[in-house]
Chains A and B, each alone.
Chain A
Amino acid sequence: MGELVRVEGLSKVHYAAGLLKRRARVVRAVDDVSLAIRHNTILGLVGESGSGKSTLARAMLYLDPPTAGSVIIDGLDPAALSRSQMRQFRHRAQIVVQDPYAALNPRLSIAASVAEGLRNRGFPRRARERRVAELLEMVGIASRRARDNPQQFSGGQRQRVIIARALAMDPRFLILDEPVSSLDVSIQAQIINLLLDLKQRLALTYLFISHDLNLVAYMSDAIAVMKDGRIVEMGDAAEVIAQPHDPYTQMLFDNAPRLLDVRPGRI
């Protein structure tokens, strides 16, 4: 299968103007990043806080448009799109973020939250309700709970609702930005399994962002390591884990505590 996502020379530069300073300080949050993600695979993106992972994600989706470089997702180049085409682009590429407690409107039932995007896409009421029930079932939420508000759900269940909401747009590409880092281990495993199932079932492609090396190494097909806004290493997951070339990547993997001793590629 070919590439679904291609990013070339992407940069995001902020100008941090000091209050009393004449000249603004240039902050290269993302610096000349190029990457490609094959259709129906997972690219894991690791790096420490402040390395630019989330900024890259937002720039790729043009939520915060990049200052340089190009993005093509599923054949669409957001820089060259008309308004209506841009809407298409927004449907095809969705993002799921970390905090399941902040990402849902507390005053809407979960069904209403999931239905919002469908309404924007012009789904008539009946079809909308049917689709919401389908989506909730797909992420493992009983449809009898569709009228409940987010407060009545646990963190893991909320994350399921957020995933359902993203899926409502029939996306081809999902950016998962630390989707499980606020969840307990046993719940985290449920959500990870769900994400892997959905990827197979709906032929999705993921950019999976996490600071948890074990998790990224477990689920990614390819791994990119980010440091100071740049990608310092990228390649097939098994190879990056077994033989990292970049000294920073080596240090990162050597410092990661392990639960199991077997390292793939090292035995």
Chain B
Amino acid sequence: MESTPRGDPAAVLRLEALTVSFTGNGGPIRAVRGVDITLQAASVHALVGESGAGKSVSAKAVLGLLPRSATCGGRILFHDTDLLSLPARSLRAIRGKRIAMVFQQPDKHLNPTMRVGSQVAEVLRYHNGIERREALLQARSLLDMVELNGREVLRSFPHELSGGMKQRVAIASAIACRPEVLIADEPTTALDATIQSQILALLDRVRRELGTAILFISHDLPLVRGFADDVSVLYAGRIVEQATSRELFSCAHHPYTDRLIAATPDPARRGERLAAIRGSVPDPQDVPPGCAFAPRCPMAADRCRVEVPLLRLSENADVSQRRSACHFAEQLVCEGLHNG
């Protein structure tokens, strides 16, 4: 499905019918089963879903960081270049420079034996060929930009920094080459609530000041609601709903999104029972035929168990571009419970 007209100037990254499978013992594990996403410059697109939905695998496919056992299909267009058909060398010139990433645990991606300054500078030296002294100067101003004391932090080792500071360092090296796309995989999950909002504010500044498009991977709906412009909800390797954040959280057009929102605890729900979703996420080696959510869905009918619902515009859609992969999307009545 073509999500945007070709040559849309604002579209920086487009995933088209992306599939990823791994070779497993009991046959192929199809982790991503046809995902279409368009990422616009200076906007935040969130990928949400529970574990095993294919969020991180999709992100790793964009970065070319999947293990050898993975096979990808479809296209990942960065402007007009298909990253999937790019030789490793050309991909290395893009990765970390024009498409950068920030991960959940910054410590895992920082070298414990290297001073922070050298690590940030290394990015600039590798990608821009800047000599050491100049790179360190630039690293210092990058650290200042992520609201750290550049002069001090430059000479620190990662273990001397707190979790929030390390994530700032990770962001500093990610934005060193002013990337057009930043992939942030649960960047605040390991952080405390107050630090979490600071890091999000920083990412938002990066988006505004550098015009970076952010692919934001998260399982945290309240967080996504406040931070993302657009949201794709993933379930068992497919997008079940795609809409602007405002639309999605005001009224879900897919039973899974609806149930997920209803299962999320909130102070406004005190005294109510949470709507738990029965059962659990399907085993990726044994995804049910038809709609993967059907066995857990309160609305499922016979048709759902045989026919895979396509991601489509709602028939009673107004001007909005929201899409739902439910045969019965039109029948979902919004109770105005989550008015946004």
Contact = CB atoms under 8 A, between A and B. Distances in A.
A192 B265 contact: yes
A117 to B, nearest CB: 27
Given A217-B270, A259-B249, A189 B263 contact: yes
B233 to A, nearest CB: 12
A219 B222 contact: no
Contacts of A190: 276-278
Contacts of B197: 255, 257
B196 interface: yes
A251 interface: yes
A251 B221 contact: no
A112 B227 CA distance: 46
A175 interface: no
B5 interface: no
B225 A186 contact: no
Contacts of A154: 280
Interface stretch (A19-27, A70-78, A207-215): A207-215
Contacts of A258: 222, 225-226, 266-267
Interface in A163-200: 184-190, 192-193, 196
Given A211-B193, A252-B194, A188 B263 contact: yes
A187 B281 CA distance: 9
B51 to A, nearest CB: 6
Interface string B84-117: 0000000000000000000000000000000000
Contacts of B193: 48, 211, 213, 252, 255-256
Given A255-B197, A257-B225, A185 B219 contact: yes
Given A184-B281, A188-B263, A258-B266, A214 B222 contact: yes
B223 A257 contact: yes
**Among B192, B219, B267: residue with most chain A CB under 10 A:** B267
A186 B222 CA distance: 14
A198 to B, nearest CB: 14
A44 to B, nearest CB: 11
Contact of A189 (B227, B267, B277, B339): B277
A260 B263 contact: no
Interface string B212-230: 0000000111110111000
Given A214-B222, A259-B221, A219 B192 contact: no
B334 interface: no
B280 to A, nearest CB: 6
A192 to B, nearest CB: 6
A211 B277 CA distance: 23
Nearest to A219: B265
B275 interface: yes
A143 interface: no
B260 interface: yes
A241 interface: yes
B79 to A, nearest CB: 33
12 contacts: A48-B193, A185-B263, A186-B280, A188-B263, A189-B263, A189-B274, A211-B193, A218-B265, A218-B274, A237-B270, A259-B221, A259-B249
Given A190-B277, A218-B266, 7 more contacts: A48-B195, A186-B280, A237-B270, A252-B193, A260-B266, A263-B267, A264-B268
